[in-house]
C-alpha cells in the first residue's frame, strides 16, 4: 500500500512552476487606482532619545504625500493602538526609541515619483541612550 501525503512525505507544490519561470504575481505587482505605498524607517539604535526628525527634504521628493512621525500621531490622538491582548501599543515613538528596529517614521508615496527612494532627505538625529 502506497501512502500519499502525511508527515515526512513530499508534496508537489502547485505554485513553484510559475515562480521558477518568472510568471508569478507578487504584492508589488498589484497596482490599483489611487493606491499609495508606505516606507517604514527603523531605528539603528537599541535605546535613543529622538532629538528631531526633519521632514522638509523628504516632503519635496516628487510623489511623497506625507511623512508621519510619532509626534504627528500624538497630535491627532493616534499615537497608541489597541492590540489583540487587550492592551495598547505605541505606533511610532515620540521621544525615545525603545529597541533596535523600532519604526521611527513612515512615508506615504505614489509609485510614479518616489518609489523605493532610499535617500529621501529626511534627517534623523537620535541620541544614543544608556
- pLDDT tens-digit readout, 67-111: 899 999 999 999 999 999 889 988 999 999 999 999 988 877 775
Which neighbouring-strand residues pair with 76?
Answer: none
Q: Locate 19 and state its grid cell.
A: 515562480
- 102 and 43 in contact (C-beta within 8 Å)? yes
Assigned domain for 102 exists? yes
Q: Can you give the residue range of the structural domain that contains 74?
A: 32-128
Assigned domain for 8 exists? no
Euclidean distance between CA atoms 71 and 89, whole angstroms? 15
Q: Closest by alpha carbon to 67, among 21, 90, 98, 36? A: 36
Instruction: Find the CATH number of the domain harbouring 36.
Output: 3.90.1170.50
- pLDDT tens-digit readout, 24-72: 888 878 888 888 888 888 989 999 998 888 888 888 888 888 889 999 9
CA distances from 56 to 2, 7, 118, 128 (A): 67, 56, 15, 23
In the chain, the number of structural domains is 1
What is the predicted pLDDT for the residue at 38?
Answer: 85
Euclidean distance between CA atoms 109 and 66, whole angstroms? 7
Amino acid at each position: 500500500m502506497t501512502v500519499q501525503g502525511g508527515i515526512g512525505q513530499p508534496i508537489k507544490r502547485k505554485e513553484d512552476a510559475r515562480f521558477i519561470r518568472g510568471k508569478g504575481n507578487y504584492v508589488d505587482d498589484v497596482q490599483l487606482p489611487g493606491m499609495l505605498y508606505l516606507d517604514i524607517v527603523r531605528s539603528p539604535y537599541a535605546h535613543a532619545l529622538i532629538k528631531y526628525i526633519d521632514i522638509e527634504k523628504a516632503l519635496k521628493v516628487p510623489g511623497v504625500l506625507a511623512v508621519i512621525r510619532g509626534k504627528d500621531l500624538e497630535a491627532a490622538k493616534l499615537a497608541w493602538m489597541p492590540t489583540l491582548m487587550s492592551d495598547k501599543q505605541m505606533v511610532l515613538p515620540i521621544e525615545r526609541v525603545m529597541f533596535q528596529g523600532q519604526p521611527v517614521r513612515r512615508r506615504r508615496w505614489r509609485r510614479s515619483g518616489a518609489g523605493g527612494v532610499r535617500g529621501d532627505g529626511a534627517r534623523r538625529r537620535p541620541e544614543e541612550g544608556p
